[in-house]
Structure 1
Amino acid sequence: MPARLRVADPAAVTAALAGERSTADLKLLTKHFLALLAERAPGTSVEVRVPPFAAVQVVPGVRHTRGTPPAVVELDADTWVALATGDLTWSAAESAGRVRASGQRADLSPFLPLTGGGLD
């Protein structure tokens, strides 16, 4: 996992999930939930991008060494947090055009939601 992606302190996650979310809250939550995804689905076959905050490679499978991985998922921070917390399903996000996913293994629904969000 990239050094910049770490599971956040549970109190900070709880605070960031409460009420209106600032840019700092979205950044914290994005990185926190990407770190949890990397723990749950380690690998390098899918790159999950949540601009402008972070990206991570996850899911076992084809290993690549240069350029874009064989599968890419890109979405905004609000959508990522909603998927990670279970407030939005993968199929609903795809149907609404809130997720851009291409390539094999780009369906992250087997790994979502990231139950408890590290708050257990």
Structure 2
Amino acid sequence: MTPEHVITKPVVAAVAAHAARGVTGVVRLEPGVAGLVGSVARTARQRFKGLDPVPTEGVRVRVENQVWVEVDVVTSAVDQAVAVARAVQRAVSRAITDATGLPVAAVAVFVLDIELS
């Protein structure tokens, strides 16, 4: 009998956040208002359980048979926002599949700001 593995949304979100931050042109992930509320609640739950919170701000995940991801980014003005968003989609999709084996249905990237400096 093979052991069953459960992959939770925070794990998938952490993988996605790490992959997105590694894309050239991404200055940072930027949570919206809903993301901030969710992040505070998630961090509190993790600390209550004695766990170190993983950085998932700016990432929302839905997991069923497939994974749907939304990523909020701030890009550099030096890079084209569309090219950066496409690179984030590819990097996040590949990282989730490689790390979890779960198929990714969609990665939506929202460019919330473009940093000039």
**TM-score bracket relative to the smaller structure:** 0.3 to 0.5
TM-score (norm 1): 0.33
Please tell me whether Structure 1 or Structure 2 has the larger radius of gyration of its CA atoms.
Answer: 2
TM-score (norm 2): 0.34
**Which structure exhibits the higher relative contact order, with contacts defined as CA atoms closer than 8 Å and separated by 6 or more residues?**
2
